């Protein structure tokens, strides 16, 4: 049986311009999984305020990160799409000798390439089994569940449904935790250890957790596993949440406020890692690496570093391979 693995990430504008950002945000923020405000109210806000104003504000931020990585090296176009495509290519290369029966490709939830078109192409090529791997280590209804929705919609009217499996999460997978720890160790070996390590996860509204979303618990468990792997004491690290949107209360403590508080307290050196991001993107390269660095230094901090996402690290690709092998249907495992 021909088997395909599809790596999936959120998506990105096609170019760093206001019209392209508007098109991406319209697709992204129209998804009821992403924003759970009552639809008539939210659609009025989205089309009356957000889409007319926000693209012009954030297009320059996309322009700043376009074509560059966390370490300043050039990449092709959108960093998120570049890394997702290269992750698929490297995973294919890694699996080639061990699992020549597996083909690896990529898709995004919003933007291009769409999951529906990728699956349609693969089915035309004769693939009968699919494993979809969302590059979200921690499950949330706002991210991974949206992929489940798309899979269900794609095959809603199909009579001959292929064998398809979606990886729900991998927040405590030992290979993933080890890759995170190795990235911190490698960074500290070059620059020395920080006074504080901040583990900043993408935020979601606190109300979502009250409704049963397991994201907060999984983030905390990832952080605890990583701290244990690094041998850190409780006062050497902390969890925080970034990228809040709107006026509702989101998961706390907030990353920006935490860094301002640490700067005021005289903490000299802070390193930040974002374990929920498999690839660097706007939220890491601009919000964490630039905006929050400025917040910390302005508040009195002396030294601030962002530790890049796992991106194309060899141990990250090995972790993805282990996750794929674990999640393949039993009859397809090596």
What DSSP assignment string belongs to 135-171? S-SS--TTTHHHHHHHHHHHTTT-SS--EEEE----T
Query: Could you give the C-alpha distances from 52 to 17, 45, 46, 232, 292, in angstroms and in order?
Result: 13, 10, 8, 46, 26
- For 243-279, strand residue ranges (E) read 269-273
Is 279 in contact with 309 (CB distance < 8 Å)?
Answer: yes
* Three-class DSSP category at 232: coil
- For 125-255, strand residue ranges (E) read 129-134, 163-166, 196-202, 237-242
202 labelled as ligand-binding? yes
- For 12-55, strand residue ranges (E) read none
Classify residue 248 by its DSSP letter: S
Is 285 in contact with 242 (CB distance < 8 Å)?
Answer: no
Is 221 in contact with 174 (CB distance < 8 Å)?
Answer: no
Question: How far, in whole angstroms, is CA 219 from its chain's centroid?
Answer: 12
Which residues are annotated binding-site positions?
202, 283
State the binding site for Fe(2+): 202, 283
């Amino acid at each position: 049986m021909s088997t395909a693995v599809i790596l999936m990430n959120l998506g990105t504008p096609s170019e760093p311009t206001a019209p392209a950002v508007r098109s991406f945000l319209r697709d992204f923020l129209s998804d009821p999984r992403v924003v759970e405000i009552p639809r008539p109210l939210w659609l009025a806000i989205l089309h009356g305020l957000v889409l007319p104003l926000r693209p012009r504000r954030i297009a320059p931020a996309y322009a700043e990160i376009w074509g560059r990585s966390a370490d300043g090296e050039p990449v092709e176009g959108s960093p998120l799409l570049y890394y997702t495509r290269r992750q698929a290519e490297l995973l294919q290369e890694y699996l080639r000798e061990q699992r020549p029966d597996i083909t690896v490709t990529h898709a995004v939830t919003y933007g291009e390439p769409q999951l529906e078109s990728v699956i349609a192409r693969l089915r035309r090529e004769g693939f009968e089994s699919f494993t979809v791997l969302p590059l979200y280590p921690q499950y949330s209804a706002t991210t991974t569940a949206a992929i489940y929705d798309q899979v269900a919609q794609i095959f809603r009217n199909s009579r001959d449904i292929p064998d398809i499996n979606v990886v729900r999460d991998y927040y405590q997978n030992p290979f993933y935790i080890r890759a995170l720890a190795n990235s911190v160790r490698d960074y500290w070996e070059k620059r020395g250890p920080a006074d504080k390590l901040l583990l900043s996860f993408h935020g979601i509204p606190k109300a979502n957790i009250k409704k049963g979303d397991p994201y907060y618990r999984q983030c905390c468990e990832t952080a605890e596993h990583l701290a244990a792997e690094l041998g850190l004491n409780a006062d050497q690290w902390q969890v925080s949440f970034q990228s809040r949107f709107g006026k509702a209360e989101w998961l706390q403590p907030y990353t920006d406020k935490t860094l301002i508080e640490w700067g005021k307290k005289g903490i000299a050196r802070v390193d930040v890692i974002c374990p929920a991001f498999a690839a660097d993107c706007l939220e890491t390269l601009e919000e964490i690496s630039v905006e929050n660095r400025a917040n910390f230094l302005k508040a009195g901090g002396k030294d601030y570093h962002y530790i890049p996402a796992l991106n194309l690290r060899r141990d990250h690709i090995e972790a993805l391979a282990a996750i794929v092998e674990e999640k393949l249907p039993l009859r397809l495992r090596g």
